[in-house]
Amino acid sequence: MRILVTGASGFIGSHLKDRLRREGHEVFGLSRKEGQELRADVRDTKKILGFIRKKRIEVVYHLSAALGSHPGGEKYIMDVNYRATEELARALIGTGVKLIFFSSTGVHGNVPPGKPADEDTPPSPISPYEKSKALAEEAVLEARDRGLEAWIIRPGWVYGPGDRRTFKLFRFLMKNTPLFGSGKNHQQPIYIDDLVEASLAFLNAPPSPIYIITGQEILTLREFVRVVCDAFRCRKNRIFLPALPLLLIAHPLQWLFSLAGKEAPLTPAKLSFFLVNREFSIERARREINFSPRVSFSRGTKRAFRWYKEMGWI
């Protein structure tokens, strides 16, 4: 198949593009950076549509996104994550091109402990990033109702070799400093290879419009830290301090850094990892696309550590 991957220079996009090529597909990448077949801003729908027609693209994996800590602020996040997706989805109606949109389990916001969210759980986004993804999902589903063949993937926290975002967290944990919150909130990470494997199933037009794709282990933050520190050789048992003082300064700090076009060292999005509860059901993906995560968090963090060490990052 002839496939376009937006966000192909990113962590997930680059892994997905490589795997699709190994599967024998003709794959093209889109990025604002050099090194991809299409260098473009994801908001330039006209340029993207022209490329899709020229290359006779059959499937678009849409991964381009602005993260919650982006210095461009809420307007930029909405423009990239929501409005660009809405325009692309509408433009693809009637073209015969299939759209596979990468959203986020973040659309579920703070999930009640012990009550894992599934695809039928109403979205409850908190941050601008989560809200932008929830709105983008609505736009994709609207286009689907109008005839577009489209699916939505909600990945959990993705990690693995090459991931700079999670590396920042791992590097922070290696400093052996106190952490924040209660340590009782849950995370449900997924190793990059498991996410990419699941993503291939969407080329076969699965029956449902939305699928949650996460690892199967639901870990408290304290458990998460112990596993990471077992791999990265840092202190496993930490003191957890109240997060309120940091929350009070996170918003103004992010605003100040955004004026200079820089990412703040502390943002509400970064703090949410220590405070927000993430628990999800992957039963639909198990049942309908035969999804079964293979890499445990312990194995995955050890693989990541080896890669970071070989690359000289640590």
Q: What is the pLDDT of residues 122-169, one digit of tens each?
A: 999 999 999 999 999 999 999 999 999 999 999 999 999 999 989 999
- For the chain, the structural domain boundaries read 65-310
Residues 248 and 240: their CA atoms lie apart, in Å, by: 17
| Beta carbons within 10 angstroms of residue 204's beta carbon | 7
Q: What is the pLDDT of residues 94-126, one digit of tens each?
A: 999 999 999 999 999 999 999 999 999 999 999
**In the structure, what pLDDT confidence band is assigned to residue 71 with cuts at 50, 70 and 90?**
low
The structure tokens listed for 163 are: 């991931």
CATH of 65-310, one of 3.90.950.10, 3.40.50.720, 3.40.50.2300, 3.30.310.10: 3.40.50.720
Q: What is the pLDDT of residues 180-213, one digit of tens each?
A: 889 999 999 999 999 999 999 999 999 999 999 9
Amino acid at 230: D
The DSSP string of the chain is -EEEEETTTSHHHHHHHHHHHHTT-EEEEEESSTTSSEE--TT-HHHHHHHHHHHT--EEEE-----TT-TTHHHHHHIIIIIHHHHHHHHHTTS--EEEEE--GGGG-SPPTT--B-TTSPP---SHHHHHHHHHHHHHHHHHHTT--EEEEEE-SEE-TT-HHHHHHHHHHTTT--EES-S-SEE--EEHHHHHHHHHGGGG--SSSEEEE--S--EEHHHHHHHHHHHHT--SS--EE-SHHHHHHHHHHHHHHHHTT---SS-HHHHHHHH----B--HHHHHHH-------HHHHHHHHHHHHHHTT--
Predicted model pTM? 0.93
pLDDT: which is higher, 151 or 74: 151
**Burial, 71: exposed, middle or buried (Cβ in 10 Å; 0-12, 13-18, 19+)?**
middle
